[in-house]
């Protein structure tokens, strides 16, 4: 596997940790950066245990943002707040975007505001933002053999996490998977 | 799909935060309205059978 690094924000971690097949993330990423500010938002046993286990295994890497990175995140929050049509973002997801931009990597987020930043601000256009839907797509096309398996995996995720994918986006991802995998 | 009996039984801040989330879909603002942590609010959404659609 190539060295693909992800930067995970809180809302992604909360949902993904509830997924019984959560370790499939290791099939796609060589490591995941966890900001200290994201870790601070994790509270329940299941989420903390999963984070701690992966920190111990070295798959998760705890990252302490530098002062200039925190300042850049705060500036990004203000820039977003000034726009009338975007969803607000907070420090954890802003930091994820700042760091992902710096190291040219993937942000794993379910935050609509964070997803919008990439579309709205050109300097963040190099950041690749994946929701759990895109991660599942990647797992499916690279690690599974049959479309039926992929479909079941995505349905399982939705059921276990109570996270529903928008119909249009889901259909689009299913089409991609269908074009790659056997029936 | 949402459990409106559950939602209406909640204390005012939490009830309004759940309704706000249903209407707007902004979890960050909703959890602040509720006076809850993000993770706690996420679990509350599951209890209320309110799906997160992203």
pLDDT at A2: 61
Tens digit of each residue's pLDDT (9 = 90 or more) over A36-80 = 999 999 998 889 999 999 999 999 999 999 999 999 999 999 999
Chain A residues closer than 8 Å to B40 by CB: 43
Say yes or no: A112 and A140 in one domain: no
Block residue for tokens 């059978």: B49
Say yes or no: A77 and A153 in one domain: no
Say yes or no: A75 and A146 in one domain: no
CB-CB contact of A64 with A43 (8 Å): no
pLDDT at A113: 92
Per the structure, how many domains does chain A have? 2
Is B53 close to A41, i.e. CB distance below 8 A? no
**End position of a domain, from candidates A97, A115, A130:** A130
Which residue among B28, B45, B46 sits closest to A88, beta carbon to beta carbon? B28
B14–chain A nearest CA distance, Å: 19
Say yes or no: A124 and A155 in one domain: no
CB-CB contact of A21 with A136 (8 Å): no
Question: In 10 A of CB A148, how many CB atoms?
Answer: 12
Chain B residues closer than 8 Å to A110 by CB: 52, 54
Nearest-angstrom CA–CA distance, A67 and A73: 10
Residue whose C-alpha is closest to residue A158's, from B24, B28, B48, B46: B46
Say yes or no: A120 and A143 in one domain: no
Chain B residues closer than 8 Å to A154 by CB: none
pLDDT at A85: 78
At residue A34, φ and ψ (nearest 5 deg) are -120, 115
Query: Which structural domain range is residue A155 located in?
Result: 133-180
pLDDT at A1: 53
Kindly report the CATH number assigned to the domain that includes residue A119. Answer: 3.40.50.1010
Nearest-angstrom CA–CA distance, A117 and A124: 7
pLDDT at A3: 84
pLDDT at B45: 96
- Tens of each residue's pLDDT in chain A, 183 residues: 568 999 999 999 999 999 999 999 999 999 999 999 999 999 988 899 999 999 999 999 999 999 999 999 999 999 999 988 778 899 999 999 999 999 999 999 999 999 999 999 999 999 999 999 999 999 999 999 999 999 999 999 999 999 999 999 999 999 999 999 987
CB-CB contact of B41 with B17 (8 Å): yes
* Chain B interface includes A96 (CB < 8 A): no
pLDDT at A183: 79
Say yes or no: A47 and A125 in one domain: yes
Say yes or no: A41 and A63 in one domain: yes
């Amino acid at each position: 596997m190539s060295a693909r690094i992800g930067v995970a924000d809180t809302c992604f971690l909360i949902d993904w940790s509830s997924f019984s097949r959560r370790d499939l993330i290791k099939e796609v990423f060589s490591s995941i950066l966890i900001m200290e500010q994201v870790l601070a938002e994790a509270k329940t046993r299941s989420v903390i245990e999963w984070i701690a286990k992966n920190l111990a295994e070295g798959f998760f890497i705890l990252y302490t943002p530098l002062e200039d990175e925190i300042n850049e995140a705060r500036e990004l929050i203000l820039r977003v707040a000034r726009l009338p049509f975007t969803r607000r973002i907070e420090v954890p997801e802003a930091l994820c975007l700042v760091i992902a931009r710096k190291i040219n990597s993937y942000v794993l987020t379910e935050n609509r505001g964070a997803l919008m930043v990439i579309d709205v601000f050109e300097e963040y256009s190099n950041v690749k933002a994946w929701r759990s839907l895109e991660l599942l797509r990647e797992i499916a096309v690279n690690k599974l053999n049959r479309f039926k398996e992929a479909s079941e995996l995505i349905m399982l995720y939705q059921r276990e996490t109570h996270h529903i994918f928008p119909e249009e986006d889901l259909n689009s991802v299913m089409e991609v998977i269908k074009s790659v995998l056997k029936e | 799909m949402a459990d409106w009996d559950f939602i209406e039984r909640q204390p005012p801040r939490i009830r309004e935060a759940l309704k706000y989330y249903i209407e707007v879909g902004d979890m960050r603002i909703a959890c602040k309205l509720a006076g809850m942590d993000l993770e706690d609010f996420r679990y509350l959404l599951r209890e209320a059978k309110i799906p997160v659609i992203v």
